[in-house]
Structure formats: structure tokens, C-alpha cells
Amino acid sequence: MLANQIVQKLNATALGVWNQNLMNKDYQYVFATDLMSDALAMINNSCDQTVLLTGLCNAQSLRTAEMLDLELIIYVRGKKLDEEVLKLAMEMGFNVFSTDYSMFEASGILYQEGLHAGD
Amino acid sequence: MQVINQQFIVERDDYANAGKVSSQVKQTLNQIGIPGELLRRVAVACYEAEINMIIHAWGGTIQCTLEDNGELTLTFKDPGPGIPNIDKALTPGWSTASEKARQLGFGAGMGLFNIKRVSDHFDIQTSPQGTTLTIGFLVTS
């Protein structure tokens, strides 16, 4: 599913899009968690096709994404990033969005659309 | 292959900069052409260990070396307080993380387990005077 379509399905608003090319990239997997070590444990060869859904809005969500080569992060429950964190997202060239859906709802919507957990 | 020997200092409770060293290590290794899958493993291990130094230890040093035979080693040394029970610390889900660490998204009890799982070599020595974690990876050209 293309990043653009994912964002549309979740009615997500852009907090920062710093790599427009990636909005036409196909993503097949989703990892949803507020625990960064859980995210780090899902390391696999599909990381670059994985969307991170999280409610954790601090720099560590971005650092975790950086280590795993995740490039699309969607924050749930309408959460926003503060200026410092947003600046870090820009430096990393990530695309970050916010959806009003809860983690459970957002996961369910993307699962219905055919995205699933990584290998 | 280019030989790397870099040392970084990690400050105790420096939550604001948590992960910066791992980011630098990853960038350095990326620049010399370490392949993506290995690079991710190294970055994940380094990041988990760096976070551990900040939230559990009293800071410390991180040494990154790459020998020309392809042995990549990361050594994390801290001055204490040590890990009381290594077996428990390596058990998935077991955590002694503080409330502050949990607010950062850590404390899942997966840190050391993750590090061991993604590294090719894993050794940890600990006492109340400090912990030395050595992890290794084989870089094949």
C-alpha cells in the first residue's frame, strides 16, 4: 500500500514530509507499539517496508526508527511532536504524520487493507 | 578495509542526547559501506546498550573498532552499579527501568536480550564496580 494511501485511510495530517518521494513508496508491514525495545526486537529484512505506529512522541521514537531504517511514522490519538522532535525528524528526512485514531483502530484499518506484521 | 577506532562518552541520565552516539556509529559504518542488514543489527545493539548506560548505569564509554580482518567490536564500559542478576537481565520482559526510562519508551525488558540476539559475539562482565559489555560482528566484503 502506498504511503499516500495509508495516510489517506487513517485521515492522518502531516506533521512533516521531508522525503516526498517516499510518499509513493509501497509499504507492506506495520509495527504498532509504544515500547521502543519491542520495536527494536522486530528487526528484520523488511524494515524499510514497515510503517511505525506509535503514541510515543519523543525523540526516542525517531531514534528507534533511525536504527531500524523506518521512514514513515504515524503518531496515534492525534498526538503532535514538539519543535525539537520535529526538527530531528527533519534532519533525519522522515515523513511523520498524526492520526486521530487510536493504536487499536489504526492497526485494524491497516490490517483490513492488507498490511500485516513483519516477518 | 578501513580500520575504525572511535571512542564516545555517554553521560549518566543524559536523556536528551540518548541515541546520538549510536546515530554517529551508524553513520560512520554506513559511510564505509557496511551492508544494510548488518548495519541495522549493529545500530540496534549499539542503541540498546547506549540507552542501558544512560538509564541503568552511571554513564560510561563506548568504543567502536573495526579491524582490517572484518571484526567489528563495540565495547561498552560503565563505572557501576553493576547488574545484580545477569540471567534475569537477559530474560525477555524482565525490567528494572525507572519511571523516567519508561516515559522515554524503554523498560520493555528486551534490551540485553535484543543485543545478544542481533550480535555475532556477546560477552558481559559485571560487578558493583562496573559492567563491560563486548559485542562483535563479522563484516564480510
- Structure confidence by residue, pLDDT tens digits, A12-71: 999 999 999 999 999 999 999 999 988 998 888 889 899 999 999 999 999 999 999 999
* Residue A118 placed within a domain: no
With an 8 Å Cβ cutoff, is B114 touching chain A?
A: yes
CATH topology classification for B4-138: Heat Shock Protein 90 (3.30.565)
Distance (Å, rounded) from C-alpha A58 to C-alpha A89? 11
Interface of B with A in 9-48 (CB under 8 A): 16, 18-19, 22-23, 26, 36-37, 40-41, 43-44, 46-48
Q: Are the C-beta atoms of residues B14 and B113 closer than 8 Å to each other?
A: no
Say which residues have a Cβ less than 8 Å from residue A64's Cβ, sequence separation at least 6.
A36, A39, A40, A52, A70, B47, B105
Chain B residue with Cα closest to A67: B43
The domain that contains A79 carries what CATH number? 3.40.1390.20
pLDDT at B83: 94
Average pLDDT of chain B is 93
pLDDT at B2: 60
Interface of B with A in 85-104 (CB under 8 A): 103-104
Query: Domain-by-domain residue ranges, chain B?
Result: 4-138
pLDDT at B65: 97
Query: Can you give the residue range of the structural domain that contains A57?
Result: 3-112
pLDDT at B100: 84
Distance (Å, rounded) from C-alpha A13 to C-alpha A74? 9
**What pTM did the predictor assign?**
0.95
